[in-house]
Every structure is written in C-alpha cells, then in structure tokens.
Amino acid sequence: MAQPVIRPYRATDRAAVGDICVRTADNGSDSGALYPDLDLMPTVFAWPYVEFEPELAYVLDDGERAVGYILGTADTPTFVKRFREEWLPAVSGKFPLPRVQATPSDFMVSLLHNPDRMVVPEVAAFPAHLHIDLLPEAQGGGHGRALVAAFLSALGAAGVDRVHLCMGRQNTNARAFYDRLGFTEIPVPGADSVAYLGRDTTL
C-alpha cells in the first residue's frame, strides 16, 4: 500500500466508506456475516453523516481508494432531528421497523428507527460526536491519530469545544487507542455494554 494521505471526504468515497464500515463494524472486525444486507451498517452509522455534514468527514486515501475515515456531527441534537425527519423517511422503505428482534439485523434496524438514543443527558456538555474506522491494513501507522486531529481541528474551527463517542466495551483495542488520545470515560448510568468517552477539541 502506498503511503496514505488524509483528505476531505468526496461524494465518490461513499461506497468505500460503506465498505469500511461493514468491514469494521463488529467491534473492529468484519460484520458481513452478522448483517447480510451490506447497506445496513453504513445506513445506521456512516452515510447519514456524510450526507448531512460532509465538511466534517475525512478519509485516509491509499492512492486508490479510502481505507479509513472519520466522520461525525458538530451538534448531536440537531443531527438527531435531521436523522429522524429527513434520513429515516428516506431509508425506512428498505429497512422497515421489525415487529420482533429475532436477528442481529433486526436489532440494528431497531437502532436505525430510534435516533433519539443518541441524545444522552450525561454527555450534553460534549455536543459533537464522531465515528472513526480504519481497515486492518491501514492501522498502526499513526493514521487514526491524524484522522482524529483533522476532525478536532475542524470542530475547533467551527467553535465546538467538546466531542464524545460511544463504543462497545468489548473493543479493548479501540479503548486503548482512545485513552492514548486523551479521551476519558463519561459516567452514564445503565451503559453496561457500551462506554461513552469524551474530550475537548483543543489539539
């Protein structure tokens, strides 16, 4: 792989962003076997961000395609409102709300239909949130740190002073990465399987 570079997201990166999301969505591993419709995870966790706030999306480009990304929102409540009013009506025909949650896909579709889950009172002081994913071959070279720096710089320039993220507690490698970058846990009662982490946007 050529030396990757970080650059702003382009509309032509959409498919690659979706692929990266699928290949990292199972606590850092490939989620394709869990969620057979390969559009599901990007529809929940990636594509609405590049649709609504592409100016906050950056990719790691290996010279041929994106092999990593960071994306998010500057204001979670505003994003949730747009998700509910604009994104969900556009995708619910493909992913209708299941009557029962019998499969992992049913659970994820239920999350799709509940964007208000992202508004957590305990993290209100950290209005922005982010998602970052890199393919295995792009990890370990400082690229994740550089992506976070690009995102924090964009937030700071927009006057946003704090950001949070939500991650599965099983993903110990990701937790170690965030710890190194100065993220600390935000206590949220009842958050047993996930952790909320936050930091300021000062580099």
Q: Give this prediction's pTM.
A: 0.95
- Give me the pLDDT at residue 2, please: 65
Nearest to 129 by CA among 56, 185, 21, 26: 56
The pair of three-digit structure tokens given for residue 149, joined into one six-digit string? 């720096």
Instruction: Residue 177: give its domain's CATH number.
Output: 3.40.630.30
The pair of three-digit structure tokens given for residue 37, joined into one six-digit string? 């419709």
The 10s digit of each residue's pLDDT in 25-49 is 998 899 999 999 999 999 999 999 9
The total of structural domains in the chain comes to 1
CB 101 within 8 A of CB 32: no
Domain that holds residue 15: 5-200
Half-sphere exposure of 142 (CA within 13 A, CB side): 2
